[in-house]
């Protein structure tokens, strides 16, 4: 045993990396590959700790890292996974393609945590704060989310905020995808013994709800990719491009969500496409889709107690949605939510709504 420690030595540089250092590290890794971090600084001519090199590479220099704003879908995935797993940033990041744990962690600490607090939700427990009996409707200006300028815009302009969207009980048949016992139907990716998240909490109820709805959308997306959508249902030209270029549509990139099945898709298609949003509208945008999708959720979301429309949709209108990634995200998200081995399921246990706030 004669290993030398990783980070000992005089004259090791700390602080921000320079462009020159980045070039050296990239060049070395391109030539020799990752690994052996202890020796990389010396071999690459860097006065850095090997650990620092690994971090720099993993978080910022790797070619397949996605930078910039988090999409609406990514935000929701982070919130949901954090609710179930806590501060397991690497575990959460694994389900966000091309995002790093550090970036997810930072985004949570600087954006999402505050938003939850503004919503009156404890970011640790994901339950309503005890001091706020009505978290869904912050009453003071301080309670509003300053990070979402659209709230003010909407209230001033009179345009419909997600919270004020009219509830249309007949607008959508999504609820039909549940069986009479309220367990989500088996959609292929959802095996019959994986029907329910075991934990009885407002969070798990939300997870079940979203899984149910999202799996429906996922089916639609999956079906469309396989050309099984009925002829009258068309997406916008942009989305059609995505579907027609299936060779470029690499679900494998979305590793945790890569499996999909066409089983039962046909069963759900008629229901899914009966939704009010007009998929044949060439002006159809994802933001509009989410807004309309939210209509039927508004009433139920308020009843959940913890999460409400402000949280789930607070940034929809302001978030620039990458529609290419969106198609992957919806399918992946839905598959993930209903088929993640990290969760425990109890087939026989019905939801106990009494446990919900």
Partner DNA sequence: AACAGTCTCAACCGCCTCGAG
Partner DNA sequence: TCTCGAGGCGGTTGAGACTGT
Among 29, 46, 50, 337, binds DNA (CB under 7 A): 50
Rg of the chain over all Cα atoms, to the nearest angstrom: 23
Is residue 56 near DNA by the rule CB under 7 A?
Answer: yes
Using CB under 7 A, which of 103, 145, 271, 297 touches DNA? 103
261 is written with which tokens?
Answer: 């099945």
Q: In whole angstroms, give the CA distance from residue 337 to residue 332.
A: 8
Please report whether residue 110 would count as binding DNA according to CB under 7 A: yes
Among 9, 23, 32, 36, binds DNA (CB under 7 A): 36
Cβ(61)–Cβ(53) below 8 Å:
no
Do 236 and 312 form a contact (C-beta atoms < 8 A)? no
Please give the angle made by the CA atoms of 216, 218 and 220, to the nearest 5 degrees: 75
**DSSP structure class, residue 27:** H
Q: Does 209 bind DNA (CB under 7 A)?
A: no
Minimum CB separation of residue 75 from DNA in Å reads: 13
Nearer to DNA, 4 or 231 (CB): 4
**What is the closest distance, in whole angstroms, from the C-beta atom of residue 219 to DNA in the complex?**
31
- Nearest distance in Å: CB 60, DNA: 5
Q: How far apart are CA 163 and CA 137, in angstroms?
A: 10
Contact in structure between 64 and 19 (CB atoms under 8 Å): no
- Choice from 11, 16, 33, 227 touching DNA (CB under 7 A): 16
CA–CA gap between residue 298 and residue 278 (Å, rounded)? 19
| Phi/psi at 45 (5° precision) | 75, 35
Q: How far is the CB of 111 from DNA (least distance, A)?
A: 6
**How far apart are the C-alpha atoms of 271 and 42, rounded to whole Å?**
62
Residue 65 interacts with DNA (CB under 7 A): yes or no: no
Contact between 354 and DNA per CB under 7 A: no
User: For residues 154 and 161, what is the distance between their CA atoms, to the nearest angstrom?
Assistant: 6
Q: Can residue 128 be called a binding residue for DNA (CB under 7 A)?
A: no
Give whichever of 94 and 176 is closer to DNA, judged by the CB atom. 94
The rounded distance, in Å, linking the Cα atoms of 205 and 154 is 29
How many residues of this chain interact with DNA, rule: CB under 7 A? Answer: 41
Nearer to DNA, 35 or 45 (CB): 35
Of 287-346, binders to DNA (CB under 7 A) are none
- Tell me, residue by residue from 131 to 170, as one string, x for binding to DNA by CB under 7 A and - for no binding: ----------------x-----------------------
Closest CA to 267 of 333, 210, 184: 184
Which one, of 225, 180, 187, lies nearest residue 324 by Cα?
A: 225
> Does the footprint of DNA cover residue 42 (CB under 7 A)?
no
Question: Which of the ranges 3-11, 135-143, 150-158, 196-204 carries the binding residues for DNA, by CB under 7 A?
Answer: 3-11
Q: Does 280 bind DNA (CB under 7 A)?
A: no
Catalog residues that contact DNA under the rule CB under 7 A.
Answer: 1, 3-6, 13-17, 35-38, 48-52, 54-56, 58-60, 87-91, 101-103, 105-107, 109-111, 114, 147
């Amino acid at each position: 045993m004669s290993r030398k420690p990783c980070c000992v030595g005089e004259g090791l540089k700390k602080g921000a990396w320079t462009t020159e250092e980045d070039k050296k590290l990239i060049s070395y890794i391109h030539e020799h590959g990752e690994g052996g971090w202890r020796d990389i600084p010396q071999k690459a001519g860097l006065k850095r700790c090997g650990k620092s090199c690994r971090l720099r590479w993993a978080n910022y220099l790797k070619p397949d890292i996605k930078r910039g704003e988090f999409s609406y879908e990514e935000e929701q995935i982070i919130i949901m996974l954090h609710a179930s797993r806590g501060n397991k940033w690497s575990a959460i990041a694994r389900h966000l393609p091309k995002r790093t744990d550090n970036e997810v962690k930072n985004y949570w600490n600087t954006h999402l945590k505050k938003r939850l607090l503004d919503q009156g939700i404890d970011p640790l427990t994901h339950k309503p704060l005890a001091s706020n009996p009505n978290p869904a409707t912050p009453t003071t200006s301080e309670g509003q989310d300053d990070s979402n300028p659209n709230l003010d815009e909407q209230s001033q302009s009179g345009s419909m905020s997600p919270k004020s969207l009219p509830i249309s009980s007949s607008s959508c048949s999504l609820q039909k995808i549940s069986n009479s016992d309220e367990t989500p139907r088996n959609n292929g990716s959802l095996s019959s013994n994986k029907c329910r998240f075991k934990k009885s909490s407002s969070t798990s109820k939300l997870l079940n709800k979203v899984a149910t709805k999202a799996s429906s959308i996922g089916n639609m997306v999956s079906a469309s990719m396989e050309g099984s959508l009925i002829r009258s249902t068309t997406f916008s030209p942009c989305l059609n491009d995505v579907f027609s270029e299936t060779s470029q549509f690499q679900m494998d990139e979305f590793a945790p969500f890569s499996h999909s099945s066409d089983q039962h898709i046909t069963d759900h298609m008629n229901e899914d496409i009966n939704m009010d949003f007009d998929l044949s509208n060439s002006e159809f945008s994802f933001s509009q889709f989410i807004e309309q999708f939210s209509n039927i959720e508004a009433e139920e979301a308020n009843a959940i107690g913890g999460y409400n429309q402000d949280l789930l949709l607070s940034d929809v209108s302001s978030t620039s949605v990458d529609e290419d990634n969106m198609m992957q995200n919806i399918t992946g998200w839905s598959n993930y939510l209903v088929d993640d081995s990290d969760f425990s399921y109890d087939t026989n246990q019905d939801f106990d709504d009494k446990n919900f706030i």
